[in-house]
Amino acid sequence: MSQAEGGEETFECCDVVVNSQEKVSDMYMQLEKLGEGKFGMVYRLQEKATGKIRAGKYIRTRTAKEKRAALAEVELMNLLHHPCLVQCLAAFQGPTELVMVMEYMAGGELFERIVDDDFEHTEPSSAQYMQQILEGLQFMHGQAVVHLDLKPENILCVSPGSHWLKIIDFGLARKLAPDTPVKVLHGTPEFMAPEVVTFEPVGFSTDMWSVGVICYILLSGESPFQGDNDMETLSNVTAAQWDFEEETFSEISQQAKDFISQLLQKDPRCRLSSVQALLHPWLQQPQPNSMKALSKERIKQFLTRRKWQKTGKALLALNRLMLLSQSPERKESGAQDEEDTGCSQAEDQASGSLPQQIPSFSELLTDRGEEEEGGSAAAAREVECQHGCAKPVLDHLE
């Protein structure tokens, strides 16, 4: 399984200097929307001069802080030239947004591909995906960069016809410096390492935990820490409480289970590094008798639940926006409530009016660059309530 498999696909990379002289629209035609994230929209683009298809990530940069964060993402991507990491090929700074032009990943999300009827899903094929994720991570960690948002949505396939994968979305990634502890409070509860939840310093091993969670879901369709709500999920994570369910893991090899067990270790020092994980027997000596087709049904259910969670979050954020727009005083106080620790009754009602099956606020978000570094900078600010209202969601929508 390699980059060569896709035939015409080649690895393109370059060091990007942000262009503030020209507009992205001078050089690219904007096509349909590909996705939407915390920091802006992603569109398919066509380069006017060459006809090449790209992906353009439009990141809001209305404040100096947003601008710094967007520039930091481009700078980090300049360090990450590897075939298993999505490449930034150009960047344009406009008055209110920065556009990152990236290679276009035409194959979509890996998990969406896997559930296609004509797609083989076995233990060896899963091991090959994990290998590519780890190769990307090995390079990234070698550059002292930690991703901090590894989850299935951030693993895309290069094209519909190949098994070549790339890690995307370096919006929360950080370059770590020796002896400078970095604490963060963002990510997605299901994939977050215990040290993130307890606001302890993160490291390369923080990504390795998320790799363990992704691999667990890939092989079983079950999410090891998912609770009935975010608090339960986070508490399962901090307790590092998980096991291999009899039913879902009955067909999975001992080697695969050992691989996962060595990643889902509460103590970060006990987790395999990316280099060690690549040397694990599950990846090195695939079992020829493990060609059995794995269940796609549970992965389908997992994908459906994740979509509901995202819809729930979007509705919640919309509700809060509406509440604020109805009340000018609230808008003013809302602008400074970073230290607030609760939600108004109106917000409680608004979020309570969401359909029951939509889980409460799920992703813990912070403004990028607001985390505590070396114990000196301001701590990451979170405003959560019972129904999971979190102010940063609002920041990203305003």
Least distance CB 274 / Mg ion (angstroms): 20
Closest-CA residue to 174 (of 383, 375, 373) = 373
Residues 157-186 that bind Mg ion (CB under 5 A): 169
Q: Report the residue from 6, 16, 24, 38 that binds ligand ATP according to the rule CB under 6 A.
A: 38
Identify which of residues 187 and 312 has a Cβ nearer to Mg ion in the complex: 187
DSSP notation for 54-86 = EEEEEEE--SHHHHHHHHHHHHHHHT---TTBP
CA distance 196 to 212: 15
C-alpha–C-alpha distance, residues 331 and 221, integer Å: 42
Length of the chain: 398
Q: Does 226 bind Mg ion (CB under 5 A)?
A: no
User: Looking only at residues 16 through 35 of this chain, which bind ligand ATP when binding is defined by CB under 6 A?
Assistant: 34-35
Give the span between the Cα atoms of 262 and 209, in whole angstroms.
9
Does 395 help bind ligand ATP (rule: CB under 6 A)?
no
Residue nearer to ligand ATP on the CB measure, 105 or 192: 105
* Total chain residues near ligand ATP (CB under 6 A): 20
Which of 154, 210, 220, 366 touches ligand ATP (CB under 6 A)? 154
Distance, in Å, from the CA atom of 199 to the CA atom of 252, rounded to the nearest integer, reads 34
- Residue 206 is a binding residue for Mg ion (CB under 5 A): no
Q: Which residues are catalytic?
A: 149
Site for ligand ATP in 107-146 (CB under 6 A): none
Q: For residue 279, give both structure tokens.
A: 């040397």
Q: Tell which one of 45, 76, 86, 133 touches ligand ATP (CB under 6 A).
A: 86
Rounded least distance, CB 349 to ligand ATP, Å: 27
Contact 251, 225 (CB under 8 A): no
Query: Which of ligand ATP, Mg ion, none sits in contact with 282, Cβ below 5 to 8 A by type?
Result: none
Shortest CA distance to 84 belongs to which of 168, 204, 171? 168
Smallest separation (angstroms) from ligand ATP to the CB of 329: 31
Q: How far is the CB of 285 from ligand ATP (least distance, A)?
A: 33
- Counting residues that bind Mg ion (by CB under 5 A) gives 2
For ligand ATP, give the closer residue by CB, 158 or 277: 158
**Between the CA atoms of 196, 198, 204 and 206, what dihedral angle is there, to the nearest 10 degrees?**
-60
38 binds, among ligand ATP, Mg ion, none (CB under 5 to 8 A by kind): ligand ATP
By CB under 6 A, the residues from 41 to 60 that bind ligand ATP are 42, 55, 57
CA dihedral 381, 324, 359, 129 (to 10 degrees): -60
| Cβ count near 207 (within 10 Å) | 29
Question: Which residue's Cβ has the minimum distance to Mg ion?
Answer: 169
- Cβ–Cβ contacts within 10 Å for residue 226, how many? 20
Q: Give the residue, chosen from 93, 126, 154, 223, that forms a contact with Mg ion under the rule CB under 5 A.
A: 154
Q: Taking a C-beta distance cutoff of 8 angstroms, is the pair 384, 365 a contact?
A: no
309 near ligand ATP, judged by CB under 6 A = no
Q: Are 56 and 92 in contact (CB under 8 A)?
A: no
Nearer to ligand ATP, 57 or 163 (CB): 57
Q: Which is nearer to ligand ATP, 37 or 281 (CB)?
A: 37
Instruction: Tell me the β-bridge partners of 165.
Output: 157
Report the interface residues with ligand ATP, using CB under 6 A: 34-35, 37-40, 42, 55, 57, 86, 102-105, 153-154, 156, 168-169, 171
Q: Which residues bind Mg ion (CB under 5 A)?
A: 154, 169
